[in-house]
Amino acid sequence: MMKSDASAGPPSPLDSARSYGRAGSSMQDFASQNPCTWCDGCGDYGIWTAARSALVDLHIWPWQVLLCYDVGCHGNMSDKIGGYRFHGLHGRVLPLAAGAALANPTIPVIAFGGDGASFSEGVGHLVHAVRSNYRFTFVMHNNANYGLTTGQASALTWQDQKMNSSPNGIPETTLNSMDFIFSLQPTFVARGWSGDIAQMSKILQAAIRHRGFAYVDMLQACPTYNKFATHEWLMQHCYDAATEGHDPKNFEKARALAVDTQNRVATGILYQTEDVPAFHERLKPREGVTTTSVQEVKIVDTSRWLKAFE
């Protein structure tokens, strides 16, 4: 373990990218030979494109990033893109990414998951990922239903929508995901929508640069199963909050803006603070440490600790 003076600060996820001498990466570097298998008009195409474009714009090479996928339609991106990837279990992408980010904070980690996984199966992880403020980006593919299992209702499905397995609409109340997220004191909250690739790319770049946990709600069209928040609906309702002078430093205003989707849906970076250290920065034993735990694997002589047991 290498220690430097504390003022040097923890390593940044983008250090490796910056130190890389060659010209930047291109979209071609992130290309895959595998054909996409999403439905015509699926929002995943847009998010997929925005993710690659954000990485290229940040001059990150495929070997410099870890992309973690949950299970769902979005998870089928795992073999349609370049980069180191991990396609894990349903509902568990957040702790997987958290462990990876903790082990090596110099590699940008992006986790992708759906609203089904994030607000039902793995909702506990979401709570603790926000409060832990791990340094990674979470792209929440929000199509308000379980697409890959053929259109069941999620906790974010609107009321009175007939869904597979809910022929009468859902008996539960729809969860207000943004109110929930803001109640957890997040440090980065953004919202994009799958039709605006340029904006999504910009949001993702800011998220990847963010000091801690970046929550990105990506509203996405699901032409096959979501008949309520369609591409047209999203196009009509979404607007860029920055164009109306929204200040992402104002927590209360950001929360109100994010929660109120009755008439219009605000997009862009809704809230961000860099005043809160990320999880790994708050670990006392890691203060001033310039190596990552990946570099520290070696047989450790424990003699110095044995005396205490005599």
Partner 1 sequence: MTRVSLKIVGAQGQGVNSVGEMCAKGLKRSGYCVFGYREYMSLIKGGHSSYQLDVSGEDVRSSAMHVDIVVTFNHHGIEKNLRDLRKGGILLHQTPQWKFKNADDQAFIKEQGIRVIELPTDAILKKLKAKSILGNVLITAVVWSLLGQPEEQLHELVREQFGHKKDLLDLNFACIAEGFAACKVIAPGTTLSLPRPDPKWKNHMLLTGSQAMGLGIIHAGCRVYAGYPMTPSSPLLTFIADMQNETGMAVKQAEDEITAAQMMVGAMHMGTRAVTATSGGGFDLMTETLSLTGITETPAVFILAQRPGPGTALPTWTAQGDLLLAVGAGHGEFARLVMAVSDAQDCFDLMPEAFNFAEEFQIPVIVLTDKQTAEALFTQPAFDQTRAKLKRGSLVTDPRELSQLKSIDRYDPAAPDGVSKRWLPGSEAATFCAQGDEHGPDGSVIEDAENARRQMEKRLKKMAALKAALPEPLYVGPKNPETLIVSWGSNRGIILDVLESEPLAKRSIGYLHYQYLWPLKTESFEMLSRTAKRTIFVECNHGGQLSSLLKLASGRDVTQKILKFDGRPFFYEELRDGLLSAPQS
Instruction: Kindly list the residues in this chain that would bind partner 1 in the complex (CB under 8 A).
Output: 1, 16, 32, 34, 61-66, 68, 71, 76, 78-79, 82-89, 92, 95-104, 106-107, 124-125, 127-128, 280, 283-286, 289, 292-294, 296-303, 305-306, 309-310
Cβ closest to partner 1, residue 173 vs residue 305: 305
Give the residues across from 182 on adjacent strands: none
Cβ 90 to partner 1 shortest distance, Å? 9
Cβ 62 to partner 1 shortest distance, Å? 5
Cβ closest to partner 1, residue 51 vs residue 258: 51
Token pair listed for 4: 């430097």
CA distance 91 to 182: 20
Cβ 198 to partner 1 shortest distance, Å? 26
Q: Where are the alpha helices (DSSP H) in 117-248?
A: 123-132, 177-182, 197-209, 231-237
| Region for residue 23 given its phi and psi (left: phi exceeds 0; alpha: psi -120 to 50; beta: otherwise) | beta
CA distance 72 to 149: 8
Cβ closest to partner 1, residue 74 vs residue 280: 280
* Three-state SS sequence of 173-192: CCCCHHHHHHCCCCCEEEEE
**DSSP notation for 105-132:** TTS-EEEEEEHHIIIIITHHHHHHHHHH
| Region for residue 266 given its phi and psi (left: phi exceeds 0; alpha: psi -120 to 50; beta: otherwise) | beta
Cβ closest to partner 1, residue 69 vs residue 193: 69
Cβ 175 to partner 1 shortest distance, Å? 19
State which H helix or E strand residue 193 sits in: strand 188-193
Cβ 129 to partner 1 shortest distance, Å? 9
Cβ 142 to partner 1 shortest distance, Å? 22
Asked whether the beta carbons of 204 and 139 are under 8 A apart, the reply is: yes
CA distance 34 to 250: 43
Cβ closest to partner 1, residue 96 vs residue 178: 96
Cβ closest to partner 1, residue 46 vs residue 82: 82
Token pair listed for 164: 């597979």
Cβ closest to partner 1, residue 95 vs residue 248: 95
Cβ closest to partner 1, residue 131 vs residue 162: 131
Cβ 152 to partner 1 shortest distance, Å? 20
Cβ 103 to partner 1 shortest distance, Å? 4
